[in-house]
Structure 1
Amino acid sequence: MNSTLDGNQSSHPFCLLTFGNLETVDFCLLEVLIIVFLTVLIISGNIIVIFVFHCAPLLNHHTTSYFIQTMAYADLLVGVSCLVPSLSLLHYPLPVEESLTCQVFGFVVSVLKSVSMASLACISIDRYIAITKPLTYNTLVTPWRLRVCIFLIWLYSTLVFLPSFFHWGKPGYHGDVFQWCAESWHTDPYFTLFIVVMLYAPAALIVCFTYFNIFRICQQHTKEISERQARFSSQSGETGEVQTCPDKRYAMVLFRITSVFYILWLPYIIYFLLESSTGHSNRFASFLTTWLAISNSFCNCVIYSLSNSVFQRGLKHLSGAMCTSCASQTIAKDPYTVTVHEYFLLLGPLHDGLL
């Protein structure tokens, strides 16, 4: 059996999704279509996010942009790494043996998604500090400390999944499109518990704690403001509009990203725990939950672009400027035309343009 599992030499393709006549196809048609479609969306979406952040100086003024760009780069690498199982499903000969390929692929994707998960937790901590300690925030959260934090995120994510190379267990199901990973690489309940304790549980608890307190504090501030405005209005005979907590709007954007992340990853984590504890596996469930979770790499950029008004204006103007430059390459530049860089400098504070 090892001779057939160590390479891509089998006459029939190893497919997790086989329905009816599709089994006669020389390659795994459904898997290829799903993975290639997600790969294109993930790569293109995150390239756009990175490009807009690079061209918009004001977007970089917000401290959370460090973590959002980290997530974008990690998600982009997830999309690039997804090309590997696509080639395998198409029976394209890989340069190394299948066992090593699927181990490396599973490890890399697990680390990248761990970076996204840890970044979301750090974003929630950053917003919590901004609301609870507004006067000392700039001294507590500095660019140097943010860079150190990002480095530690990458280092910690790598160390958590590194034991998988020492035959402790499988870090996830990302490599199950490879036959060796599906049939010869099994999960270990202790390694799964280690991942949950060191990564999944702390990240989820941090997010729940910080956002619960953020919204509670914002609700309290909004109530106090409304009471003061009501007293002022009764004295002056005027009616005023109640202002909401300004940080709550930006927290809502990040809360949506975090919520979608855990909604898409929850089926994967539940299945991971069930198979590790019971020892029973289901190829269809493993494929479905895995690639549903990986689709979050595209959802992050969509949610952020749809929720942030400054990002929307930057993307719209950037695309408009690119179309204009392509259509008028031979026309001299109008002295009254505002360049992309000048536009972003005129946008005003990022904090006032959220949502």
Structure 2
Amino acid sequence: MSGSTMNPADIAASVLVLGIIVVSLLSNVVVLICFLYNPEIRRQVPGLFILNLTFCNLLLSVSNMPLTLFGLITAGHPGGGTVCQIVGFLDTFLTTNSMLSMAALSIDRWVAVVFPLSYHSRIRHRDAVIALGYTWIHSLCFSTVATCRSWVGFHHLYASCTLWSVRAKGADTQFVVFTVALHSLTFLLTLIVLCLTYLKVLKVARFHCKRIDVITMQTLVLLVDIHPSVRQKCLDEQKRRRQRATKKISTFIGTFVVCFTPYVITRIVELFTPGPISPHWGVLSKCLAYSKAASDPFVYSLLRHQYKKTCSVLANKVLKRSPLNSSSLRTETNTARSNNNTTAAATANSIQPPGDGQPPSDKPLEP
């Protein structure tokens, strides 16, 4: 990683970090705009956890990632010692906070699926604020201890300002205990919570799908004259429903494992292995951890119907298409013409009941 000329691996790593920065900034900013624009999203309890996760990802994208990119380009120490200590503090705090936010989101989804009728009484905004308070206290404790003990600095293995120790006598054992405790109470704890909650959610979802499948099959048996193609479409839809549930749960758990596991394992191996670790692998594991900040908006927010609809409305406003306004204008014109025709008919026949125009649309928004 040293030298005045960048090798191909460093160039590829720099391009990767730059791409992660761009995607993370754009996607998380879009999530933040959707949260501020749509009051329905703000009223939902999961929106608080997503907001906290978005805040962590944005701050990580503007503080830690640029310094890692600078360290890769210059192959040296990015900035002064004080700046690196602050960024190292943020690295521990933001990573821990984002992991715990994912655990809180999984618990919220577990309660919503397992206890749907009592969800609003079990999970309220006050409970969400208390959970977020714990994530902040938990994260601040570890990051503050690491900073006060001077266990943060520029680590050449990861080309970033993060947890680091000179392995001085008397402090080595303490740093090992601290690092193991940090990853056990953040990464391992979050992974256990994600697996327990989402696998339970998947089990309940499959149970409901099975009940729906039984009812559908009974209906198909009764409809003896149903066309075979219609029957096959119903069976295919049942299969797609089960696959969607499995795919969502696999995405939640899989992205967490793929992005954070290499970095955490490298951290643990580094503590107990006297031999050197390839700096290219160290940078790659750090890039994978950074990529979680870029994937979170798509995993938890932007692929949901509410966010996609909000993004569509905002895009139409930015592009000045205003389809809603034009459609509203056409609706008002048609309504006025309908009212005029209704009034004329009522005058002629004197038997037209009032309010016989088009009924208002009461169709609720899709969740």
TM-score, normalised to structure 1's length?
A: 0.74
Offset of residue 181 of structure 1: 7.8
Which residue pairs with 2:261 in the alignment? 266
Q: Distance in 2 between matches of 1:136 and 1:118?
A: 24
Q: Residues 76 and 192 of structure 1: is their aligned pair in 2 closer, same or farther, counting only changes over 3 Å?
A: same
Offset of residue 271 of structure 1: 0.8
Q: SS where residue 324 of structure 1 aligns? A: coil
Q: Distance in 1 between matches of 2:73 and 2:98?
A: 29
Q: Residues 55 and 169 of structure 1: is their aligned pair in 2 closer, same or farther, counting only changes over 3 Å?
A: same
One-letter amino acid of the counterpart of residue 297, structure 1: A
Which residue pairs with 1:149 in the alignment? 131
1:19 aligns with 2:7: yes
Which residue pairs with 2:289 in the alignment? 293
1:133 aligns with 2:115: yes
**Contiguous gaps of at least 5 residues in structure 1:** 1-12, 23-27, 328-332, 339-345
Q: Residues 276 and 235 of structure 1: is their aligned pair in 2 closer, same or farther, counting only changes over 3 Å?
A: same
Q: Distance in 1 between matches of 2:199 and 2:107?
A: 12
Which residue pairs with 1:230 in the alignment? 217
* Contact 1:118/1:203, CA 8 A, preserved across alignment: yes
Which residue pairs with 1:63 in the alignment? 45
* Contact 1:36/1:86, CA 8 A, preserved across alignment: yes
Q: Distance in 1 between matches of 2:21 and 2:225?
A: 57
Alignment match of 2:205 (pick from 190, 214, 218): 218
Q: Residues 116 and 230 of structure 1: is their aligned pair in 2 closer, same or farther, counting only changes over 3 Å?
A: same
Which residue pairs with 1:8 in the alignment? none
Which residue pairs with 1:282 in the alignment? 278
**Contiguous gaps of at least 5 residues in structure 2:** 331-361
Q: Residues 146 and 236 of structure 1: is their aligned pair in 2 closer, same or farther, counting only changes over 3 Å?
A: same
Q: Residues 254 and 310 of structure 1: is their aligned pair in 2 closer, same or farther, counting only changes over 3 Å?
A: farther
Q: Residues 251 and 119 of structure 1: is their aligned pair in 2 closer, same or farther, counting only changes over 3 Å?
A: farther
Offset of residue 154 of structure 1: 1.6
Q: Residues 39 and 185 of structure 1: is their aligned pair in 2 closer, same or farther, counting only changes over 3 Å?
A: farther
Alignment match of 2:103 (pick from 102, 121, 130): 121
* Contact 1:305/1:311, CA 8 A, preserved across alignment: yes
Which residue pairs with 1:202 in the alignment? 189
Which residue pairs with 1:107 in the alignment? 89
Q: Distance in 2 between matches of 1:151 and 1:232?
A: 50
% identical aligned pairs: 18
Q: Distance in 1 between matches of 2:283 and 2:223?
A: 65
Offset of residue 101 of structure 1: 2.8
* Contact 2:263/2:286, CA 8 A, preserved across alignment: yes
Q: Residues 232 and 101 of structure 1: is their aligned pair in 2 closer, same or farther, counting only changes over 3 Å?
A: same
Q: Distance in 1 between matches of 2:162 and 2:192?
A: 35
Deviates more, 1:273-282 or 1:80-89: 80-89
1:46 aligns with 2:34: no
- Larger gyration radius, structure 1 or structure 2: 2
Q: SS where residue 295 of structure 1 aligns? A: helix
Offset of residue 219 of structure 1: 1.1
1:165-214 CA-to-partner distances (Å, cap 9, x unmatched) read: 24385599699436998794788322221112211111111110111111
Offset of residue 157 of structure 1: 1.4
Offset of residue 246 of structure 1: 9.1
Q: Residues 273 and 337 of structure 1: is their aligned pair in 2 closer, same or farther, counting only changes over 3 Å?
A: farther
Deviates more, 1:104-113 or 1:221-230: 221-230
Q: Distance in 2 between matches of 1:155 and 1:122?
A: 14
Q: Distance in 2 between matches of 1:84 and 1:41?
A: 17
One-letter amino acid of the counterpart of residue 107, structure 1: F
Aligned 1:326-341 pairs, distance under 5 A: 336=328
1:135-179 CA-to-partner distances (Å, cap 9, x unmatched) read: 211111011111221122122112133321243855996994369
Deviates more, 1:37-46 or 1:234-243: 234-243
Q: Residues 179 and 308 of structure 1: is their aligned pair in 2 closer, same or farther, counting only changes over 3 Å?
A: closer
TM-score, normalised to structure 2's length?
A: 0.71
* Contact 2:70/2:78, CA 8 A, preserved across alignment: no
Q: SS where residue 102 of structure 1 aligns? A: helix
Q: Distance in 2 between matches of 1:181 and 1:56?
A: 38
Q: Distance in 2 between matches of 1:198 and 1:104?
A: 22
Deviates more, 1:269-278 or 1:159-168: 159-168
